[in-house]
Copies of this chain bind each other. A is one copy, B any other.
Amino acid sequence: MADRKATIKSVSIDLFFKKGYFATSISDIAGGSGIQKASIYYHYASKEDLLFHILKSTMDDLTTTLKQCLAKGTGTEQRMRAAVRGHVRFHLERQKENFIANSELRGLTAEHYRSITQKRDEYELIFQDLIRQGAEQGVFADVDVKILSYAILTLCTAGATWYKPNGRLTVDEIADIYENFIISGLKQGNLNTPASC
């Protein structure tokens, strides 16, 4: 039980993922951490403070990972492939935190909410720039940048909802599928007539 503060955070991530932020009590977290609930407040100012720490570190690590992935690629398509792959991997490897980051924003104070959504917006911008560049270079079709960026991100993020660590497919196999699906969608080859319903 080296670092109690880290233990509390880790237990909270497990519980927020399984039960949700509002359904998890300080008592639950204390029980899981092997201490009394009052002791939580020595390490974190409040339950909301704990949530904010989780979301902040997740978003910061996510952005760092993306930038590392992009640094390796050359050319817009390769860079988009690397971005998608990095995004998928990060979300599957740190499934619980990412699930929380996408579902528990309402638990934050107004100020902390702005802080996290600003980080998210900056992250989205990187993808939007890639789509725009690809469209200008003729690598991708002339698609709606905003909608497509949301589509790409939610698609990959959704993995954090259903992924099972010891399931049928490995992280890299799932990343392959998403990468090809998304690049195909961005290129928009051979399309026919739309539906009527």
Contacts and interface: CB of A to CB of B under 8 A. Distances in A.
Contacts of A181: 143, 148, 151, 185-186, 188
A183 interface: yes
A182 interface: yes
B148 A195 contact: no
B144 A195 contact: no
Interface string A49-92: 00000000000000000001100110001100110111000000
* Oligomer: number of copies: 2
Contacts of A148: 177, 181
Contact of A22 (B22, B147, B182): B22
B197 A179 contact: no
A109 interface: no
Interface of A: 19-20, 22-23, 68-69, 72-73, 77-78, 81-82, 84-86, 103, 106-107, 143-144, 147-148, 150-151, 154-155, 158, 161-162, 169, 174, 176-192, 194-197
9 smallest CB-CB distances across A and B, nearest first, come from A189-B189, A81-B195, A22-B22, A154-B158, A69-B197, A82-B197, A181-B185, A185-B185, A82-B195
